[in-house]
Each structure stands twice: as structure tokens, then as C-alpha cells.
Amino acid sequence: MLEKKQHLPQEQFTDIDYFIYCLEAVNDVEVVTITKTQTSLEHLTMQFGVASIYKTCDTVEGLEASLNALVLDDHHFKDYEIIYLVITGEANSICLNNYYYSLQEIAEIFEGRLKGKILHFSNIKVLDLDQDEAQYFLDITGAKAISGYGNEFNGISSLQLDQVFFNLFKEDDNMFEVVEELHQKHYALCKLLDFRLYY
């Protein structure tokens, strides 16, 4: 698995207690390319001091291995409020290597292992869950919330809004206040992309 850590100067890094963990689906993890997501995360680090770890995956096994490594091996796991997923898919599924996996299947893989985390999907995948689907995912994984967007990409990327969302969490860990502030500051974009939070 490829791994890229966004580093700040050491003296600043010790003050950081808030990280984003990003998993991006790519066609082939062996091919190293700088994606727009990576560039966006680097901007987040340089501009706002929000550190992140970036990994790629090209199979569901790769997704599982990456999240397992985070949960089991990373002593900073408690500091990751948000797991940022840049993966295509449909309303209630993700697509890896042309295979679709429902969020129920993903929930069962990570049963009880995402306690207190927010899973945030970029808008390359529409997030559209009914109440039962969302509740099942949250109950099985222990996640605090799932967030994302109800409208398709259509040439407008959520990267900028994602950055604002992550930065607001650095300032305030109250999820509802963050979402309210996000809508106050970027109402038009939230409406356009149809920002959603399931909790």
C-alpha cells in the first residue's frame, strides 16, 4: 500500500491533535500519480495546519487492509475524527475495480471498528441512504456519522467544501455546530451539492 504523510515542521506537528485519514480509490495502486485530492490535502496542511494521511486502494481487500492498519497499528487513531473516502459508487454502494459493494457489506467488514468516527464521502460518489440503511451502518460500525453529497459531480468538485468542513472540525468538534456553520458560510454550495449528514 502506498502511503503519503503530510508533514509539518516538527515543532508544529507536536501541537496537532486532529488528523484526516484519506483513502482514495485508484485504478492501480502500483502507478504513482499526484491526484487532485492529494493536492487539496497538502493545501489543507499548509493553509490550515490540518494534518492528513493519504492512502490509495484498488480493491475491497486494499480498503480493508488500509483501514485495519489505521485501526490496529496507528497509535494516533483516536485523533482521526474524519475518515475521508474518495471513491466512486452509487447511492448506497462504493465501486472498486468495477465491483460494487453495498455500504451494508462495508459495515460488516468494519463491525465495531469505527467508533466515534465520521465517514465523509467526496462528491465523486452520490450519498443517498434511507434511514434504515444509515442506521444499520452506524449501529454496526460504531461510527458517529456519515456525510457526503446528494447531487452528482456534474463538473463541480466538493474538494473546496470538503476542505472547509475539515477545517471547521479543527476549530470545533461539535458536529452539529460545524454543519450549521458550514451552511451559514457556504449556503449556495451546500445547496448545490446537497450536503448530507446521517447520524
Domains and CATH numbers, the chain: 3-198 (3.40.50.1460)
The overall longest dimension of the chain from CA atoms, in Å, is: 46
Long-range interactions of 164-170: CB distance < 8 A, separation 24+: 165/120, 166/20, 166/44, 166/48, 166/50, 166/82, 166/84, 167/44, 167/48, 167/50, 169/18, 169/81, 169/82, 170/18, 170/48, 170/49, 170/50
Cα separation, 140 vs 35, in Å, equals: 32
Buried b (16+ CB within 10 A) or exposed e, 55-84: bbbbebebbeebbeebbeeeeebeebbbbb
Q: What is the CA radius of gyration of the chain?
A: 16
3-state SS assignment for residue 5? strand
Cα separation, 122 vs 99, in Å, equals: 19
- Match 516538527 to its residue by C-alpha cell: 10
Contact 105, 67 (CB under 8 A): no
Cα separation, 35 vs 67, in Å, equals: 20
- Rounded to two decimals, the pTM is 0.88
What is each CA distance from 7 to 13, 16, 19, 78, in whole angstroms? Answer: 7, 11, 11, 19
pLDDT in tens, the chain (199 residues): 444 444 444 334 445 567 899 999 999 999 988 999 999 999 999 988 888 989 999 999 999 998 888 777 666 666 788 999 999 999 999 999 999 999 999 999 999 989 989 999 999 999 999 999 999 999 999 999 999 999 988 889 999 999 999 999 888 889 999 999 999 999 999 999 999 999 9
